[in-house]
Amino acid sequence: MSQSMNRLAALLLVITAVIAGPVQAQGLVPYQEGLHYAKIDKASAVPGEKVEVVELFSYLCTHCATIDPYLNRWAAKAPDHVVFRRIPVVFGRSSWELYARGYVTAEIMGAPETAHTSMMDRLWKEKKILRSLDEIAEFYTAFGLDKDKFLSTARSFAVDGRIRRDQQLVREYGITGTPSLVVNGKYRVTGNAAIPSFDAMLDVVDYLVEIEASGLRNASAASE
């Protein structure tokens, strides 16, 4: 019985090494689908030569405010083959839609990235709620945006269309809470018992980014 158990243990070690080998060789932690991340139904990779990482967020979400400095540090160190962007979530709430409209307008008008962090700080550190589009437009004047142009842009078809497309992606990605992260349109990462911290959440994102980047490299090599 002891010899049988020893042989079984040895076999399991070999199997584990075979499975883990390629992952460990790339310096990756073997995270599990369904536990640490979810494969998005009917997902298809975002076209292009880079891996896209999207944060689904709201300015009125306290957890989004908490993860923001983590994401900023992560994005600053992200490799060249990664593109990071944000999509403001509405979830049918008028207050969330107001801030989503403000964010999309500011992005279209070329507001600097610092405006995003400043908005989070205004709401969560300074505890100053902006309750109208006029107040939001006034906020963005500190970042070089003209208030009247901001208001007209915010009410334009371009912004309306962008918000509709963004919320369609929110539904397609299966987003039910914020913050959520989506890697290349294929994988959804959210906090849960298996992901106890924002650092762990971003480790999972790095793991999925490398999987997608490897696929892009292999596709590029095959086409040469």
CATH number at residue 156: 3.40.30.10
Q: Which domain holds residue 146?
A: 32-223
- Whether residue 216 contacts residue 51, with contact meaning beta carbons closer than 8 Å, is answered with yes
Domain assignment of residue 123, yes or no: yes
- Tokens found for residue 101: 């409209």
Flag whether 148 is in a domain. yes
Using CA atoms of 89, 91, 92, 97 in order, give the dihedral in degrees to the nearest 10.
-20
Per-residue model confidence as pLDDT tens for the chain (224 residues): 444 434 433 433 333 333 343 444 345 567 999 999 999 997 776 778 899 999 999 999 999 999 999 999 999 999 999 999 999 999 999 999 999 999 999 999 999 999 999 999 999 999 999 999 999 999 999 999 999 999 999 999 999 999 999 999 999 999 999 999 999 999 999 999 999 899 999 999 999 999 999 887 776 666 65
- Domain assignment present for residue 13? The answer is no
Tell whether 183 is covered by a domain.
Answer: yes
In the numeric block, which tokens belong to residue 75? 């994005």
Mapped onto helix, strand or coil, the DSSP state of residue 33 is strand
Spell 60-73 as b/e; 16+ CB within 10 A means b: bbeebbebbeebee
pTM: 0.84
User: Total domain count for the chain?
Assistant: 1
| Residue 125 located in a structural domain | yes
In a domain, 7, yes or no: no
Domain assignment of residue 210, yes or no: yes
Residue 72, CB-side half-sphere exposure with 13 Å CA sphere: 13
Whether 82 is covered by a domain: the verdict is yes
